[in-house]
Amino acid sequence: MERIQSINPKRIAWCCADHGITPGDLAAEVGISASSVERVMAGQDGMTFNQLRKVADYFGRGILFFLEDAPVDEALVHTPQFRTLANQKPELSAKLKALIERVEKQRDVYLNLREDLDDDDHPRFTPPDLSSEDLRKAAHIARQWLGLKDQNSFDDYRNALESRGVLVFRSNGYNGKWQIAKENPILGFSLYDPTCPVIVIKKQDWETQQSFTLMHELGHLLLHKTSSIDDERDLQSHRGHEREANAFAGHLLVPDAFLASIQDAERPDEVSQYDSWLERQRRVWGVSGEVILRRLLDAGRLPQRQYDAYRQWRNQSVAGQEDGGNRKYRHREPRHIFGDTFVRTVLDALYARHITLAKASSYLDNLKIKDLHELEHYYAGL
């Protein structure tokens, strides 16, 4: 079989270093013999087209990327947003780096489709002025900007952000290219852009946990106008921008008026009963018990020791995420991952014949054509 001899081995080496693997690791990952990769790296041999395509797909690059003679210019390969996240968390895994780049490409797809549709009615990101240092006031303004009601779920919060021009993706619970592994401590990240920011939330056991992460990331976008990546430690931090994003999210999800409805005299003695005590508020406000307790703590209505005891109890009680499950509704998964705004845009572009079925499938997590048709029927019935 004919081999491509014009491969630039330095570009393969750069990609390996960027992903923290060796050429031997690459060989194992893509199913090419280690000796073949060694010869390519030494400039002694080439690859077949299929082999090079496997390498390109693994690194999320185009085939032509590895045929260029010039050295890699990282400023051109990685966006400023990507470099911001990588600098904040230097220990990012190769899979998470690939996910960030995949999200950026998905945003480009969305913007290009919107341009093709020439649709002036699509949501535009026009953030409110939150220049005030009063985080309570900032959260109040943001809550009005989002048009939130007193009763909300994670989907309500997500839809509110999307209606204001923020794309909200949620990682898939199934193993795949849109998953953030359950053992990974990252809970979410945001990619700032003045015209179309994106927030990515890790799928968690309870959607109420996702609501706080969502608003924490919104805080970074509105308050700091920067990209950010956050783990459990960041969402408990008392310092700098993380403290501000946490306070902003807490006040937005649980305003003072909400907090006033909680009766301290009814608080149980056992921390294991706190969630039951706050069950109605948790359900109506669409937040976790911890968010409410943290607001009570910051308001001086809950002792630190009791809050810490609750967190210890909760951490011991958390059930692990499931990796499997029933995929009967596979056609709906793109909506769960990419959100209603993105999916409707792809379908609109398909109906307008700007893209083919194959393209639409590739943009929607590689749905099979029959699942894509089911998704169309699902939206037709909404």
The gap between the terminal CA atoms of the chain, to the nearest Å, is: 51
Q: What's the pLDDT at 381?
A: 82
Mean pLDDT of the chain: 93
| CA-closest candidate to residue 284, choices 317, 309, 262 | 262
Alpha-carbon span 116 to 52, nearest angstrom = 32
Tens-place pLDDT, residues 48-84? 999 999 999 888 899 999 999 999 998 889 999 999 9
Distances (CA, A) of 207 to 20, 60, 170, 252: 33, 30, 11, 17
How is residue 354 written in tokens?
């700007």
Alpha-carbon span 176 to 159, nearest angstrom = 25
**Counting Cβ atoms within 10 Å, is residue 247 exposed (0-12), middle (13-18) or buried (19+)?**
buried
State how far Cα 211 lies from the chain centre: 13
Q: What's the pLDDT at 326?
A: 56
Q: What's the pLDDT at 320?
A: 47
Per-residue pLDDT, averaged over 94-109, amounts to 93
Residue pointed to by tokens 């310092």: 239
Q: What's the pLDDT at 375?
A: 96
Tens-place pLDDT, residues 111-136? 999 999 987 778 899 999 997 779 99
Alpha-carbon span 25 to 16, nearest angstrom = 9
| CA-closest candidate to residue 127, choices 79, 193, 201 | 193
Residue type, 66: F
How is residue 185 written in tokens?
């401590």
pLDDT of 323 > 50? The answer is no
Alpha-carbon span 199 to 218, nearest angstrom = 8
Contacts 24+ apart (CB under 8 A), 19-28: 19/59, 19/94, 19/97, 19/98, 20/93, 20/94, 21/94, 26/55, 26/58
Tens-place pLDDT, residues 276-307? 999 999 999 999 999 999 999 999 999 999 99
Tens-place pLDDT, residues 195-222? 999 999 999 888 999 999 999 999 999 9
pLDDT of 322 > 60? The answer is no
Alpha-carbon span 222 to 93, nearest angstrom = 27
Alpha-carbon span 215 to 245, nearest angstrom = 8
Domain ranges of the chain: 9-77, 79-95+126-253, 257-316, 330-380
The count of other CB atoms within 10 Å of the CB of residue 17 is 11
Under the banding of pLDDT at 50, 70 and 90, the label for residue 190 is very high
Under the banding of pLDDT at 50, 70 and 90, the label for residue 251 is very high
Architecture, CATH, for domain 9-77:
Orthogonal Bundle (1.10)
Per-residue pLDDT, averaged over 20-42, amounts to 94
Distances (CA, A) of 190 to 69, 81, 100, 211, 263: 34, 9, 10, 14, 36
| More confident call, 363 vs 316 | 363
